[in-house]
Structure 1
Amino acid sequence: MAIFTGAGVAIATPFDENYNIDYDSFGKLIDFQIENKTDAIIVCGTTGEASTLNHEEHIAAIRYCVNRTNKRVPVIAGTGSNDSRTASWLTHQAELAGADAALVVTPYYNKATQNGLIDHYSYVARHTNLPLILYNVPSRTGCKINADTMAYLVKNVDNIVGIKDAVGDVSYTAQLMYETQGDIDVYSGNDDMIVPMMSLGAKGVISVLSNVAPEDTHNICAEYMAGNVEKSRELQIKYLELIHALFCEVNPIPVKKALELMGICGPHLRRPLTEMEDANTERLRKAMIEVGIL
């Protein structure tokens, strides 16, 4: 059984003016998501600025999210690292905190061969009972999980069950399904490719868009799964300009600004991320108005 189907939000981590985690706003954002049909919460991922959190903050954010969610939806904890021991330790801590699964990004900067990826993920999986979703985002990490490598891991490691596919190439997704014979839970890592990837068998999306439009992102998936492909397609296209605006600067700069415009949290980002440029803020505002968020 899939950890979740539909739209899981890659949730932002609100910070206060002193750049500490703003738990009041974080709780408000978590509740907003669940009240508006988000199917799962993915905490401490890229959108959650996990790379700027120290280990204590990282585990505290996971624990808070688990407790605030209180079993209403699954919580998937981002626990990846470019160091296998650190990734294993973070995953174990997420398990202790009560997460339902872990999202483990490919090693970045030092990267790895395909054999290295097999060893890395097998090592992490051996030290946890959590189901693992691997996160394939070569544009950020410089490291890609080949489809045959993923097929090997799914076949040989029991608790590797899924992949967040942010390669941005439906040919890769098709090859992934071919190599694994469909025996894998695939989630789109790109909000503009939800419908195309679901047409190849994806279970849904791990979404930035869901931060600001949780119900309709859920509906893109739900309508597709209900057989209402035309309605799903219409929603996908409706949000295309907003999706592009949410990525006109590096994620999560735009989505933090969008959440500020909605009054959910402040725009504060940890360095080296910086405040959104005025022209891009205006583009984002117009896109949000166009779909009725503002």
Structure 2
Amino acid sequence: MKTLGRVLTAMITPFQADGSVDFEGAVVLAKHLLANGSDGLIVCGTTGESPTISNEDKLKLFTIIAKECGHIGSIVANTGSNDTSKTVALTKEASKTGVHAVMGVVPYYNKPNQQGVFLHFKAMAEATSLPVIVYNVPGRTGGKILPATLARLRETCANIAAVKEASGDINVASEIYHLLPEDFMIYSGDDGLTLPMLAVGGCGVISVAAHIVGKEMNAMIQAYEAGEVAKAKSLHKELYTVFKAMFVTTNPIPVKYAVRKLGLPAGPFHLPMCEPSEEEAAIVNAAIKPYIK
């Protein structure tokens, strides 16, 4: 199967002390991730604090990361929102920046029905010739896309190419694999479910933990694909503490804190994201200690 990569890292967005985007730091971090297990990057996703970044800064990030890193790995621009017209407008502009694909989330808060979800992504897909990744994360959005709706979308728009499946339900992934064509890419949206998702048709992960353990995650997926299931299980067991720590509180709080501890560009948070508590920080510190050089 042709994919955008097995491990796509949902990259944090480094900020300066004054809260402005650290564009140079973003390139440094992007190159580090691509050199350490990531096959590609999601830019300005939820992990990248997209709700608090202006479209102007998003487009600048898409452009600079695609220019500096697009020859190394797949660069995916998150252009989604809960406003279809704004999603379409940003998708059109992002498609001119040199990125390889775009991603959009099921509209949050307003909770459209399945026809509304279908029409939203249809409009997004028609706004670009790039592959579109549909992001299904009911725990954050309050809504969801059903596998049947996803299949209908793919039948209508050939560039609906992938799903980031983060419902936490393996049965949903199984149904997507059953209904969609073989070349449709199913990415785990949960680090800890990557291995079982591979067993039911997944092609990889859109990862948070890969900021810390990208090489190990890629090795786990490669081991499974090579039929070395025992090795893959052992790697999953080894990585589980990191997976758990990255979600000890709301993402991206743990991972941005961890990236800072690793000495990589990160900077502060944009409110309403804030620093972890002492207890949360201690859990993250313990989990990442073996990976601090």
Pick the TM interval, shorter chain: over 0.9
Taking the aligned partners of 1:225 and 1:266, their CA distance within structure 2 comes to 33
Taking the aligned partners of 1:146 and 1:50, their CA distance within structure 2 comes to 24
Letter in structure 2 aligned against 1:5: G
TM-score when normalising by structure 2: 0.96
Offset of residue 66 of structure 1: 0.6
Match of 2:198 in 1: 198
Q: Is the 8 A contact 1:161 1:185 kept in 2?
A: yes
Match of 1:95 in 2: 95
Q: Is the 8 A contact 1:259 1:267 kept in 2?
A: no
Q: Is the 8 A contact 1:4 1:40 kept in 2?
A: yes
Q: Is the 8 A contact 1:76 1:101 kept in 2?
A: yes
Taking the aligned partners of 2:212 and 2:195, their CA distance within structure 1 comes to 19
Offset of residue 18 of structure 1: 0.3
Taking the aligned partners of 1:4 and 1:123, their CA distance within structure 2 comes to 22
CA distance 1:152–1:266, change in 2 (3 Å): closer
Letter in structure 1 aligned against 2:250: V
* 1:110-121 paired onto structure 2 within 5 Å: 110-121=110-121
SS at match of 1:274: coil
Letter in structure 2 aligned against 1:117: V
Q: Is the 8 A contact 1:148 1:179 kept in 2?
A: yes
Gaps of 5+ in 1: none
Match of 1:130 in 2: 130
Gaps of 5+ in 2: none
SS at match of 1:9: strand
SS at match of 1:219: helix
Match of 1:78 in 2: 78
Taking the aligned partners of 1:172 and 1:206, their CA distance within structure 2 comes to 17
Match of 1:13 in 2: 13
Taking the aligned partners of 2:168 and 2:182, their CA distance within structure 1 comes to 19
Match of 1:293 in 2: 292
Match of 1:63 in 2: 63
**Per-residue displacement from partner, 1:208-247 (whole Å, max 9, x unpaired)?**
0111221112112122122222211111111111111111
Taking the aligned partners of 2:3 and 2:94, their CA distance within structure 1 comes to 16
* 1:161-176 paired onto structure 2 within 5 Å: 161-176=161-176
* 1:189-228 paired onto structure 2 within 5 Å: 189-228=189-228
Q: Is the 8 A contact 1:267 1:275 kept in 2?
A: no
Offset of residue 265 of structure 1: 2.1
Letter in structure 1 aligned against 2:99: A
Letter in structure 1 aligned against 2:49: E
Taking the aligned partners of 1:52 and 1:292, their CA distance within structure 2 comes to 30
SS at match of 1:232: helix
Q: Which runs of 4+ in 1 moved over 3 A?
A: 291-294
Taking the aligned partners of 1:242 and 1:288, their CA distance within structure 2 comes to 7
Report the aligned-residue RMSD: 1.3
Taking the aligned partners of 1:250 and 1:43, their CA distance within structure 2 comes to 19
- The alignment status of 1:185 with 2:185, answered yes or no, reads yes
